[in-house]
Structure 1
Amino acid sequence: MLYYLFDYLEKFDIPGARLMDYITFRSGAALVLSLFIAIVFGRRIIDRLQLMQVGEIIRDLGLEGQMKKTGTPTMGGVIIIMSILIPCLLIGNLSNVYMILMIVATLWLGTLGFLDDYIKVARRDKDGLKGKFKIVGQVGLGLIVGLTMVFSPEVVMRENIEVENVENHEVVITYEPENVKSAQTTIPFVKNNNFDYAYLTQWMGKYAVTGGWILFVLVTIFVVTATSNGANLTDGLDGLATGTSAIIGVALAIMAYLGGNIIYSSYLNIMYIPGSEELVVYMAAFIGALIGFLWYNAYPAQVFMGDTGSLTLGGIIAVFAILIRKELLLPILCAIFFIEDLSVIIQVAYFKLTKRKYGEGRRVFKMTPLHHHYQKAGNTVPALIQRPFIPIPESKIVTRFWIVGIMLAVITFVTLKIR
């Protein structure tokens, strides 16, 4: 809205009208605006949720301080979604295909999470929306994003090429002269950091490129589903999912800015993606919304994001990474999400295996997702892994996870220069 207003005012040569042409200015404005909305209007939404008695249903799992959280307002993800969308609609370029896809992803998973939370609150059903419906929703979003990237003429890239000067052995990074449609993505530890999905479908002969795009869509579906569920499982302690997602968001915003600028892309020797710089505006709003929400979600939390927030956060991160062709870096950047996912898978699989073998199920961790394992005291639960013997306070677990998240973000950038 404001973006188009300023664009119109440029015709009259009004001072300051060109500010909206600068990604840095619009990103800064989006961050400040989203932060303001989350803090100011977030308080009113929390009060409204309390009046409506939209409180979290807490199961007694024997964790310290857990039952004190009963009745804390949930569905606070509405604050995050609102704080993201309003700045994007005001300041973003709504004709940009990348911005459109991010808004669709936000609304899509926000609705899915809202339905889950609504069933939990309205029907007093802790399980909420059935898992199969969540999977269908996540797969649907993956298809929308994947197919749009396949067929949209605006989704293009330029491959980075290393050219070595024989005389002085100096390596210069150049780019293809024209934008091309390609199923390439970024992968660490290889020359040029590029990987084409069509490499895996060469056995299909003349249909190799088509096969590569099909594989890309399947990977998109998997990444959206896995990351969304990982963020959902991580949302178990006050501020854990919020802070971790904000750290990931900062890393992705930097990648989008670098990948959308041909000069910086050349310096890092990564592919150049025209138009993707608009995503920095979206991610700035995302970061501001999370920091503002953390104002109320930090320990002890005054509001929980619920599935309205956690499913949306994971989906946003996944779709954003896919759009900037960095989805294969997520196992490093979002390792916390995937470890939380993996801890549940390992626990369930081992329990079923031992129950079938010994007639009694056994555990690897004292409790999953993994963050709850650290809250359990010594030998109270029989499990293969007993450390730590003394339960760690919730705020310390969250802070340590944040530190790990920062380290993972740094490692992710380092991998781009290791080849």
Structure 2
Amino acid sequence: MLVWLAEYLTQYYTGFNVFSYLTMRSILGVLTALVMSLMMGPWVIRKLQLLQIGQTVRDDGPQSHLSKSGTPTMGGLMILGSVLTSVLLWADLSNHYVWVMLFVIVSFGLIGLIDDYRKVVRKDPKGLIARWKYFWQSVAALTIAGFLYYNAQLDAETVLVVPFFKDVLPQLGLFYLVVAYFAIVGTSNAVNLTDGLDGLAIVPTIMVASALAFIAYLTGNVNFSAYLQIPYIPYTSELVVVCAAIAGAGIGFLWFNTYPAQVFMGDVGSLTLGAALGAVAVMVRQELVLIIMGGVFVMETVSVILQVGSFKLRGQRIFRMAPIHHHYELKGWPEPRVIVRFWIISLILVLVGLATLKVR
């Protein structure tokens, strides 16, 4: 929005041309989302406390979590509000990739909001019934995938990039819809499963969003993409502003979500942030690299699948509790130790993911 205003004012003063630079708008996007999140935080927490919108804790979980009962949840609203405002202010709204991301944030945000509302306001422990949650996630994801597929103008927009292999770029065709669907819905639910400890999900999200911002910049630049031998997809560089806003809002939220947390993001935050990461990965054609960089999310999801599968098939559990972060808590690890070690693992995996762009 302000980009258009700056373009108009440039005819009167050339200094406004600075706002046309992607790097400047990305920096402003980070700062805007960060400041907004920090400013909204105390008000959102007080409002949630007044409305008695608090976290419900499982009785069969770690005993240390019982003290978290009643902690305000749905704090993801401050993240989404900050991201949307920052993107609307600093992104180029003529770019269709930006509108795809706005659709992702609004659609998955509504799904998460309804789920949280049913859990904490209507006191339904199941929240939005699982089949309906997956149904609406599927509708949103397939809408996004279909739009991107039918508006693709270059072959590069529908290839599968295989890490470490520069010449392996299979054309997906209609299978693109399947890949995009699982990238968006899978990442959405993976981040949701990871969001079980204070700050555990938001820091890896910040790291992955920052890495995807870098990848989006390279993908949208004809020279860098040619040098790295990755697909050149015009206009994806504008996704840098969106990823920057996610990182900035996440840092602001972490101020209140760090151990011991004053607020939790809830499904409205985790489902949306996961879907946003998945959607960006689809648009820059790096779904497999996302699996590497989001390895913590993958590990948490796989632990749940293995636990449920083992119990149903053999009547035995593999872990003391799933997702796996609870397993380590029940082994005696203090919560901060689990959190920080998972952060370290996430940082390593993000660096490995970025390294795949060069090691080809």
Moved more, 83-92 or 138-147: 138-147
For residue 371 of structure 1, report the CA deviation from its aligned partner.
0.5
Which residue of 346, 353, 359 corresponds with 1:412? 353
Aligned residue number for residue 203 of structure 1: none
Matched, 1:362 2:327: no
Identity %: 42
Contact 2:166 2:229 in 1 (8 A): no
For residue 183 of structure 1, report the CA deviation from its aligned partner.
1.7
Aligned residue number for residue 33 of structure 1: 32
Partner SS state of residue 41, structure 2: helix
Give the aligned residue type for 2:80: I
Partner SS state of residue 220, structure 1: helix
Matched, 1:228 2:169: no
Aligned residue number for residue 344 of structure 2: 403
Aligned residue number for residue 228 of structure 2: 268
For residue 20 of structure 1, report the CA deviation from its aligned partner.
1.8
Matched, 1:347 2:324: no
Tell me, which stretches of 5 or more residues in structure 2 are unaligned? none
For residue 62 of structure 1, report the CA deviation from its aligned partner.
4.5
Aligned residue number for residue 268 of structure 2: 308
4+ residue segments displaced more than 6 Å: none
Render the CA deviation track for 1:148-183: whole Å, top value 9, x for unaligned: 11222xx444xxxxxxxxxxxxxxxxxxxxxx5752
Following the alignment from structure 1 to structure 2, what is the Cα–Cα distance between the partners of residues 87 and 193?
Answer: 37
Matched, 1:376 2:330: yes
Tell me, which stretches of 5 or more residues in structure 1 are unaligned? 158-179, 198-211, 355-360, 378-390
Aligned residue number for residue 240 of structure 2: 280
Structure-1-length-normalised TM-score: 0.83
Aligned residue number for residue 165 of structure 2: 190
Aligned residue number for residue 258 of structure 2: 298
Aligned residue number for residue 94 of structure 2: 95
Contact 1:226 1:338 in 2 (8 A): no
Following the alignment from structure 1 to structure 2, what is the Cα–Cα distance between the partners of residues 62 and 245?
Answer: 24
Matched, 1:132 2:86: no
For residue 416 of structure 1, report the CA deviation from its aligned partner.
2.6
Following the alignment from structure 1 to structure 2, what is the Cα–Cα distance between the partners of residues 141 and 320?
Answer: 15
Render the CA deviation track for 1:99-141: whole Å, top value 9, x for unaligned: 0000100001000000000001122122100111111122112
For residue 42 of structure 1, report the CA deviation from its aligned partner.
1.6
Give the aligned residue type for 1:314: G
Contact 1:30 1:87 in 2 (8 A): yes
Aligned 1:8-407 pairs, distance under 5 A = 8-12=8-12, 14-152=13-151, 155-157=152-154, 182-192=157-167, 194-197=169-172, 212=173, 214-354=174-314, 361-377=315-331, 391-407=332-348
Render the CA deviation track for 1:259-280: whole Å, top value 9, x for unaligned: 1111221222211111011000
Larger fraction in helix: 2
For residue 399 of structure 1, report the CA deviation from its aligned partner.
0.6
Number of residue pairs matched by the alignment: 360
Q: Could you say if the C-alpha distance between residues 276 and 18 of structure 1 is closer, same or farther in structure 2, counting changes exceeding 3 Å? A: same
Render the CA deviation track for 1:16-49: whole Å, top value 9, x for unaligned: 2111210000000000010000001121111111
For residue 193 of structure 1, report the CA deviation from its aligned partner.
5.4
Render the CA deviation track for 1:198-254: whole Å, top value 9, x for unaligned: xxxxxxxxxxxxxx1x21011111111111110010000000010111111111111
Contact 1:156 1:274 in 2 (8 A): no
Give the aligned residue type for 1:28: I
Following the alignment from structure 2 to structure 1, what is the Cα–Cα distance between the partners of residues 78 and 167?
Answer: 40
Following the alignment from structure 1 to structure 2, what is the Cα–Cα distance between the partners of residues 344 and 190?
Answer: 31
Q: Could you say if the C-alpha distance between residues 193 and 9 of structure 1 is closer, same or farther in structure 2, counting changes exceeding 3 Å? A: farther
